[in-house]
């Protein structure tokens, strides 16, 4: 009935209608109204427009939008899941660090054997090296080639500084010549050793704790072959030296050289920091490779 009544106004856009309103029981006097069909149609469309705006506003400005599947919602859910896995991995790392600190404190008090500290160090590294997508509590994979780097991967004698100086040769292309590294060398940064070389656990380096922002220096002449951000090691820089040596410096706060730059012995190449996913505080992660084999850096520096 109501639809039929409203359809009368659509038959003529400019028609004028008289509407008489009266009580069914005729208790009140009838009332008469003059209405143009164009006004009724305009009011009808205006009502639909306002209703549409209210509907859109209710979806956009209220929590209802969270229940509407969109591409952005799926991406957000994926990020939430990824962050949850990362939090779980960081929790494992924190638990391993607490355990390591507890074992170290007990060792200093004489209540525990030093072998427990070695195992705690391995657990700490494995927790820090665990990818965020790995299931908590799963066994860590062992690299099949780790035994190739078990020290001494390339034994070198511990020589006095006086007897191990390599004479510098002169060439007509002296600017292009990279002199050999003189071992034992000075450490690249001032600090103290917090973790040693352990090929079995995949730690092909030593960690030197140092104040954040400390100058990191090259241990010899060479050319920069890597200077970039890495997921695990943060800002990292690698230098190719003569005689098949490559040194890698990770977790820097700032890199001072670019790929292709030539560096001199003891030249500043970076500033130490705490960048990267796998780090427990400001320190320098130092790797030394010779002809593809990882070396224990402690054998290469004075006083270590």
**Structure confidence at residue 192 (pLDDT):** 92
Q: pLDDT at position 87, please?
A: 82
pLDDT the model gives residue 68: 66
**Count of beta carbons in the 10 Å neighbourhood of residue 197:** 23
146-300 is classed in which CATH architecture? Distorted Sandwich (2.70)
pLDDT at residue 85 in the model: 80
The pTM score is 0.50
Structure tokens at 288: 């030394």
C-alpha to C-alpha distance for 60 and 135, rounded to whole angstroms? 38
Give mean pLDDT in consecutive 10-residue pieces for the chain, a chain of 304 residues. Answer: 65 72 74 76 83 81 67 73 80 73 63 51 53 38 61 58 42 59 92 91 92 96 94 94 94 95 96 91 94 91 81
Which pLDDT score, from 0 to 100, does residue 100 have?
67
| CA-based nearest residue to 298, from 166, 212, 179, 195 | 195
Instruction: Look at residues 300, 286, 44 and name the one whose alpha carbon lies nearest to residue 152.
Output: 300
């Amino acid at each position: 009935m109501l639809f039929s009544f409203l359809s009368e106004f659509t038959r003529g856009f400019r028609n004028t209608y008289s509407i008489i309103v009266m009580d069914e029981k005729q208790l009140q006097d009838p009332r008469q109204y003059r209405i143009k069909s164009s006004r009724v149609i305009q009011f009808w469309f205006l009502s639909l427009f306002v209703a549409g705006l209210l509907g859109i506003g209710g979806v956009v400005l209220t929590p209802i939008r969270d229940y509407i599947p969109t591409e952005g919602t799926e991406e957000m859910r994926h990020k939430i899941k990824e962050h949850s896995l990362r939090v779980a991995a960081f929790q494992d790392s924190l638990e391993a660090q607490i355990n390591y600190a507890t074992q170290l404190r007990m060792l200093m008090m004489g209540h525990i054997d030093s072998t427990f500290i070695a195992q705690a160090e391995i657990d700490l590294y494995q927790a820090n090296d665990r990818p965020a997508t790995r299931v908590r509590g799963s066994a860590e994979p062992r690299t099949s080639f780790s035994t190739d780097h078990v020290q001494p991967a390339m034994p070198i004698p511990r020589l006095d500084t006086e007897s191990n100086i390599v004479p510098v040769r002169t060439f007509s292309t002296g600017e292009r010549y990279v002199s050999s590294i003189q071992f034992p060398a000075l450490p690249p940064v001032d600090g103290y050793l917090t973790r040693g070389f352990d090929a079995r656990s995949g730690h092909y380096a030593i960690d030197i704790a140092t104040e954040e922002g400390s100058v990191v220096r090259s241990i010899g002449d060479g050319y920069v072959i890597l200077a970039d951000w890495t997921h695990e090691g943060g800002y990292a820089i690698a230098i190719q030296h003569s005689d098949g040596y490559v040194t890698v410096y990770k977790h820097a706060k700032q890199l001072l050289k670019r790929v292709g730059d030539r560096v001199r012995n003891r030249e500043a190449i970076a500033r130490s920091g705490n960048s990267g996913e796998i780090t427990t505080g400001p320190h320098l992660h130092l790797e030394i490779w010779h002809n593809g084999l990882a070396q224990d850096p402690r054998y290469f520096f004075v006083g270590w």
